[in-house]
Amino acid sequence: MEKDQRSPGRGIRQSMSGLHIWAGLLMGWILYAMFLTGTVSYFKDELSQWMRPELAHQAELPDPALVAQRIADELVASVPGSPQWSMRLPDARTNSVYAFWRTAPGSAEGGRRAFGEANFDPATGGKVTARDTLGGDFFYRFHFQFHYMPALWGRWIAGAAAMFMLVAIVSGVITHKKIFVDFFTFRGGKGQRSWLDAHNALSVFGLPFHFMITYTGLVTLMALYMPWGEQLAIKTQAERQQMTAELNAFIQPGKPSGQAVPLAPVAEMVRQAQERWGRENVGRVTATNPGDSTARVAVARGESGRVSMSPQYMLFEGTTGRLLEVREGVGSAAETRGVLYALHLGRFSDGVTRWLYFLVSLMGTAMVGTGLVMWTVKRRQKLADPERPHIGFRIVERLNIASIAGLSVAMTAYLWGNRLLPAGLAERAAWEIHLFFAVWALTLAHAVLRPAKAAWIEQLWAAAALLALLPVLNAVTTDRPLWHSLGQGDWVFIGTDLMCWALAALHAVLAIRTARHRPKLRAAPAKGRTGIIGGALEEGRS
């Protein structure tokens, strides 16, 4: 059993191996879900377009200045008295304009801190009339705050999981003495060795990315996780404003004067920003106290052309459109944070970089997945009675099935729900999400009730079938089947259809390989498991 006084022979590599395995296992299922939904989120805008098939393919980007004016007019009319609203202008990847606003104090919608949000049609300025859906944003939000719980809880859980991941990465590297030699080692068809080699190759190849994505993930929410310095040093209102200005381009509303003055043309302000940063490189337009004499409008720089999320914006007087300030730089620490933040989101990417992000992130997902599976593969060989494994083994084995194969089924089911749920359904967007979780729960029930191997195979085939048939479902239920989108050059729909088939093939291959696999079972050695970190010690490599 675990002796705390370690003999000198039991080196740091062994203790790090134990740390790696247990840190990885405890948060592995959450991390897998965060990794996979996060990976998909690199295409969240495209997925949102696919999930709103009523919105026509955007062959040409409309002039952002005109769009900004249209949406501003709409917001002025539809949310009068709002102390702040903000819109993200369309770019090549979005065909709708997302806007949110604070509801007017004392309005019917709720208290002072209440928010509203909607998607607008850039062509008409009206609210989008597409089916009610959260689109790709569901996966994006789920990957750092989950669902069915207050967002703050979810963010703390995600932070804890990310911290475990960081520890697992560092301890994994220390464990791994022959890190570069092993990268070129793959011993296929050899059970545990193959899993280990696959896990190593996936981890080492993507190591800089995995490390970056984990650390920057923590950075995105660092003010929540490490608030102590800020609480101690930032006390006055002025200091707080100075701090906020270092972090984002959201200008905060001051006290309204109560004197009504209409908002000056927003299009003119956006034009000035376009001259500075490029026609299609204007990101966000935020107005505070619009319609009041104290109104301010900030037009922020777009995300392409620089790897940083640090605020750069032009500030205008809302009533006259006069340029008050151009902000194009923050302090060095704030810029560092801006760069790390941008690296995590990858929004600066062009098409090729985006695909690289997606693929390496998918490898990260597979790294977590192979790690989880390896835990059971290693221990199965040492089970006293392989027919009746102990409860801990069974829990891990079944959770692995539902959280790996089951998640694929559930995520695809979410897309099926998007096409199949009736348009008039009340709370439709919420029902798409309920469907996702209901299917995920079913895969867990299935994993518990069926023999483990059968459950793996059946769920992988289910995911493959659902993915393979999704383009067919799309062709039947929308007027944008593959042949149509090919004719239009609509790469969002073409790409989604092809990606579904590629992922279906991947799941089919995994299902076939699992079905063919014959685990070699050895009788357990008499001493059995060697304690809490015991299994970890078998890492010794030939």
Binding site for other proteins (CB under 8 A): 1-2, 4-6, 12, 15-16, 18-19, 163, 166-167, 170-171, 174, 215, 218-219, 222-223, 225-226, 228-230, 232-234, 239, 242-243, 246, 331-334, 336-337, 340, 532
CB of 336 to other proteins, least distance (A): 6
- Closer CB to other proteins, 334 or 465, in the complex: 334
- Closer CB to other proteins, 14 or 381, in the complex: 14
Q: CA–CA distance from 98 to each of 26, 86, 272, 332, 531 (Å)?
A: 37, 9, 22, 31, 54
CB of 239 to other proteins, least distance (A): 6
- Closer CB to other proteins, 419 or 529, in the complex: 529
- Other C-beta atoms within 10 Å of 364: how many? 25
- Closer CB to other proteins, 339 or 494, in the complex: 339
User: Can you tell me the distance from the alpha carbon of 359 to that of 322, in angstroms, rounded to the nearest whole number?
Assistant: 46
User: Can you tell me the distance from the alpha carbon of 297 to that of 447, in angstroms, rounded to the nearest whole number?
Assistant: 54
- Closer CB to other proteins, 182 or 230, in the complex: 230
Q: Is 108 exposed, middle or buried (0-12, 13-18, 19+ CB in 10 A)?
A: exposed
CB of 415 to other proteins, least distance (A): 35
CB of 207 to other proteins, least distance (A): 15
- Closer CB to other proteins, 231 or 542, in the complex: 231
In the block, tokens 């084995």 appear at 397
User: Can you tell me the distance from the alpha carbon of 452 to that of 397, in angstroms, rounded to the nearest whole number?
Assistant: 7
Q: CA–CA distance from 84 to each of 111, 121, 254, 298, 453 (Å)?
A: 14, 20, 10, 11, 55
Q: How many residues are given for the chain?
A: 542
- Closer CB to other proteins, 77 or 232, in the complex: 232
CB of 84 to other proteins, least distance (A): 22
- Closer CB to other proteins, 221 or 494, in the complex: 221
What backbone phi and psi angles, to 5 degrees, belong to 398?
A: -75, -40
CB of 63 to other proteins, least distance (A): 37
Q: By the 8 A CB rule, do 180 and 204 touch? A: yes
- Closer CB to other proteins, 79 or 340, in the complex: 340
Classify the C-alpha dihedral 535-30-350-464 as positive or negative: positive
CB of 41 to other proteins, least distance (A): 21
Strand, helix or coil for residue 466: helix
SS (H, E, C) 143-190: HHHCCCCCHHHHHHHHHHHHHHHHHHHHHHHHHCCCHHHHHCCCCCCC
CB of 174 to other proteins, least distance (A): 7
- Closer CB to other proteins, 4 or 479, in the complex: 4
For residue 115, give the DSSP letter.
E
User: Can you tell me the distance from the alpha carbon of 296 to that of 320, in angstroms, rounded to the nearest whole number?
Assistant: 10
CB of 166 to other proteins, least distance (A): 5
The pair of structure tokens assigned to 349 is 């990417």
CB of 466 to other proteins, least distance (A): 38
CB of 299 to other proteins, least distance (A): 23
Q: By the 8 A CB rule, do 334 and 308 touch? A: no
- Closer CB to other proteins, 237 or 332, in the complex: 332
User: Can you tell me the distance from the alpha carbon of 394 to that of 187, in angstroms, rounded to the nearest whole number?
Assistant: 27
SS3 content of the chain, % helix, strand, coil (to 5): 60, 10, 35
User: Can you tell me the distance from the alpha carbon of 150 to that of 178, in angstroms, rounded to the nearest whole number?
Assistant: 44
Residues near 385 by beta carbon (within 8 Å), at least 6 away in sequence: none
CB of 208 to other proteins, least distance (A): 16
Buried b (16+ CB within 10 A) or exposed e, 452-462: beebbbbbbbb
- Closer CB to other proteins, 148 or 228, in the complex: 228
- Closer CB to other proteins, 1 or 526, in the complex: 1
CB of 12 to other proteins, least distance (A): 5
